[in-house]
Amino acid sequence: MSPRPGAEDSSVEARSEVQAKPEKLELIDIAYELTDFRSFADLGACWGVDGAYAFHAAALCGNELDRAVIVDGNLTPLTRERAGAHRRVELVQALLGSRQALDAVRKVDALIMYDILLHQVKPDWDRFLLDWLPHANSLIVFNQNWLKTPRTIRFVDRGVDWYYRNVYVWEDDWNTRERLESWFARHDERDEDGRLERDNHWYWQWGIRPLELIGLLAKNGFELIYMKRHRHAFGRRRPWIVNDGLIFQRAAYPERGVGGRLRAAARSVAERTGVLERIRRS
């Protein structure tokens, strides 16, 4: 599905540092079809894309949009400019896991969480999710999930050399080995907001196992209703990092029990990632 004609200003979108990714736009399209959301909040919507996914979701809803909220610790000028043309789009400048952000969003149909879970420290990614669950009936998640270890891990606990070999997925003018080493050397220092540099959200913090993510939500009443995996998203040298697009919805029949939801979630993951078919063939 494409946005309604005239809903996007392509000249504005072209000025963003990063163009919206087709797989992320598609995930919102599918969530719109499956959940019929009419209100949403996009958490961390601004970096690089200046709210592109939020405005895409707003365009899908069209005149039926009830309310849209963009939440980010840094609302970019281009995001503010684009929001000026959408009277139902609210802007909230706040840390994503803060009480300020939670109170401002209140309750919406859906939460968009793109590329943010692996950055969340204090609250950590799992506590972050639990804090947000009461605020929505659906979650639209795109996350860089981790397959290399049997459990979810905190990357910085493994040291700079391990981090560089296993996690650092690109190098450019900003992302360099020297910058990474400088960050590790400052881990015990505090930033201007009093947070430890070790917990800096600009860096990847967590290797989240997909079944732990899905299991956490299943235990708390959310069913996985869609999943698509994008392999080799960061090159074939690091096949243990995958981009997973997931859609969760509050369980219609919570009396089914946690065990039933966990088994259904595990089967769904196996089917959608090809694991089940490989087991059958073997």
Q: What was the pLDDT predicted at 171?
A: 73
- Closest to 9 measured CA to CA, from 21, 24, 20: 20
The percent of residues in the chain predicted with pLDDT above 70, rounded, is 84
Beta-ladder partners of 13: none
The answer to whether 97 and 120 are in contact (CB under 8 A) is yes
pLDDT tens column, 135-190: 999 999 999 999 999 999 999 999 999 999 999 877 777 778 999 999 999 999 99
Q: What was the pLDDT predicted at 235?
A: 83
pLDDT band at 255 (very low <50, low <70, confident <90, very high): low
Question: For the residues of 67-111, what is the DSSP string, one character each?
Answer: EEEEEESS--HHHHHHHTT-TTEEEEES-TTSHHHHHHH---SEE
Q: Which residues, in sequence order, are CB contacts of 50 under 8 Å at separation 6+? A: 13, 15, 16, 17, 76, 78, 79, 82
Burial of 159 (0-12, 13-18, 19+ CB in 10 A): exposed
pLDDT tens column, 110-121: 999 999 999 999
- Per-residue tokens: 198: 């070790």
pLDDT of 266 over the 90 cut: no
Q: What was the pLDDT predicted at 174?
A: 73
Q: What was the pLDDT predicted at 60?
A: 97
pLDDT of 265 over the 80 cut: no
Q: What was the pLDDT predicted at 4?
A: 39
Q: What was the pLDDT predicted at 268?
A: 65
The answer to whether 9 and 64 are in contact (CB under 8 A) is no
Please give the Cα distance from 158 to 178 (Å, whole number).
18
**What is the rounded average pLDDT of the residues 209-225?**
97
Query: Apex CA 60: angle with CA 91 and CA 97, to 5°?
Result: 35
Please give the Cα distance from 70 to 80 (Å, whole number).
10
pLDDT of 6 over the 60 cut: no
Q: Which CATH code is given to the segment(s) 10-151+205-281?
A: 3.40.50.150
pLDDT tens column, 48-105: 999 999 999 999 999 999 999 999 999 999 999 999 999 899 999 999 999 999 999 9
The larger pLDDT score, comparing residue 240 to residue 14, is at 240
pLDDT tens column, 15-55: 888 899 999 999 999 999 999 999 999 999 999 999 999 99
**What is the rounded average pLDDT of the residues 227-234?**
92
pLDDT band at 109 (very low <50, low <70, confident <90, very high): very high
**What is the rounded average pLDDT of the residues 217-225?**
96
pLDDT of 259 over the 80 cut: no
Please give the Cα distance from 45 to 70 (Å, whole number).
6
The pLDDT mean for the chain works out to: 89
